[in-house]
Structure formats: structure tokens, C-alpha cells
């Protein structure tokens, strides 16, 4: 059940993991959400993201806080983690560069901004990808980054309520 504030925004955080199941490191966002399933204990809604980035607009509409996790290509070392608060500024172009669909995450954010359909707060965790070919497994550096991002998301969610996700 979604909790609503006075202004009608959903106060329950939404965590969206993006990626392609069969493209190596591109599935890192999906793996973060999967790893969080048994650990958030109702502190957030978890969604394995849509293949079409424009569908994000519907997912996050009316939300107070949305966290999106996605593989990125920004020139950093594989497995590097980037955290952005997007509602305050543009998404750097390279952070959406792994999309194999029509629009990248950066494009979806800018479209949402121009249509007035961004959540009140939008946090993006980007995990620097190394291998994105079809059939590749996640690289060790990205596997480690998935665990790091899980911990960071749990830390952020834990600031809203009593500690969660201890294993």
C-alpha cells in the first residue's frame, strides 16, 4: 500500500533497477533491485525497470522520492559508482549511454523535466559498465559495485525509518 502526503505525492520511496538481462554489466540495476528484495522490509517499493525509458515517466509520476540504478558509460573505471541528485540539475549525457532502446535514462529525465513529470526528488546511482555485449556475464568489478550500491540505497532508506536491511 502506498502512503500519501497532503499534496497527493506517494511518500513510499520507489527504487527502480534498469538494465538488460542478457547484456553483461548492463543488468547491474536489475541485480541491485533483486538483492534488495528481502532486505528493504517494506521501506520502499522495488521495481525492475521497463525496457522503454519513457515508461519511467508513468512509474515515477506522483512520487516524492525515486531512486534509479542503471549501468553507465562515463569513462570512469569499471565498477565506479556515481550518485546524482537529478531534480537539481541536468543528467550528464554519458550517464545514459548504455541504453539499447529509443531513449536513455538521461533523455527520459529531461523529457520528464520538460513535461513537469519528475518526482520531487530523483536520485540516480550509476554503475560504470565494462562489458555490454549480449551473453556476457557481469564483470567482477560491477558485481562488487552492485553490493556497494545495495548498501548505499539501504543507508539512504534507513534515514527515513529505523535501521533496515541488516543481514
Give pLDDT tens digits for 20-70.
888 999 999 999 999 999 898 788 999 998 777 788 999 988 899 999 999
Residue 88 has pLDDT above 70, yes or no: no
d(C-alpha 119, C-alpha 122), whole Å: 6
List the one residue out of 51, 40, 48, 53 whose CA is nearest residue 13.
40
What stretch of H or E contains 121?
strand 121-128
Beta bridge partners of 127: 71, 81
CB atoms within 10 A of CB 167: 6
* 24 phi/psi in degrees, rounded to 5: 55, -125
Q: In what order do the strands lie in the sheet with 81-85?
A: 45-48, 14-17, 65-72, 121-128, 81-85
Q: Give me the CATH code for the 14-158 domain, please.
A: 3.40.50.1450
pLDDT, tens digit, for every residue of 94-123? Answer: 555 445 455 788 888 888 888 888 898 999
CB 124 within 8 A of CB 60: no
So what's the pLDDT on residue 66?
A: 94
Global pTM?
Answer: 0.84
So what's the pLDDT on residue 9?
A: 61
What average pLDDT does this structure show over 131-146?
90
Residue 4 has pLDDT above 70, yes or no: no
Q: What counts of helices (H) and strands (E) characterise the chain?
A: 4, 5
**In whole angstroms, how large is the CA radius of gyration of the chain?**
15
With 0-12 CB in 10 A as exposed, 13-18 as middle and 19+ as buried, what is 7? exposed
Domain extent listing, the chain: 14-158
Amino acid at each position: 500500500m502506498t502512503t500519501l502526503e497532503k499534496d497527493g505525492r506517494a511518500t513510499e520511496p520507489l527504487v527502480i533497477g534498469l538494465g538488460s538481462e542478457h547484456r553483461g554489466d548492463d543488468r547491474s540495476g536489475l541485480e541491485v533491485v533483486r538483492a534488495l528484495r528481502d532486505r528493504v522490509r517494506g521501506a520502499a517499493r522495488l521495481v525492475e525497470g521497463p525496457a522503454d525509458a519513457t515508461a519511467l515517466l508513468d512509474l515515477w509520476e506522483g512520487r516524492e522520492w525515486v531512486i534509479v540504478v542503471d549501468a553507465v558509460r562515463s569513462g570512469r573505471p569499471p565498477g565506479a559508482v556515481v550518485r546524482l541528485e537529478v531534480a537539481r540539475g541536468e543528467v550528464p549525457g554519458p550517464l545514459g549511454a548504455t541504453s539499447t532502446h529509443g531513449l536513455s535514462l538521461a533523455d527520459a529525465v529531461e523529457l520528464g523535466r520538460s513535461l513537469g513529470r519528475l518526482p520531487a526528488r530523483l536520485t540516480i546511482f550509476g554503475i560504470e559498465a565494462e562489458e555490454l555485449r549480449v551473453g556476457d556475464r557481469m564483470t567482477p568489478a560491477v558485481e562488487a559495485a552492485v553490493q556497494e550500491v545495495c548498501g548505499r540505497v539501504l543507508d539512504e532508506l534507513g534515514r527515513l525509518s529505523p535501521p533496515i536491511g541488516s543481514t
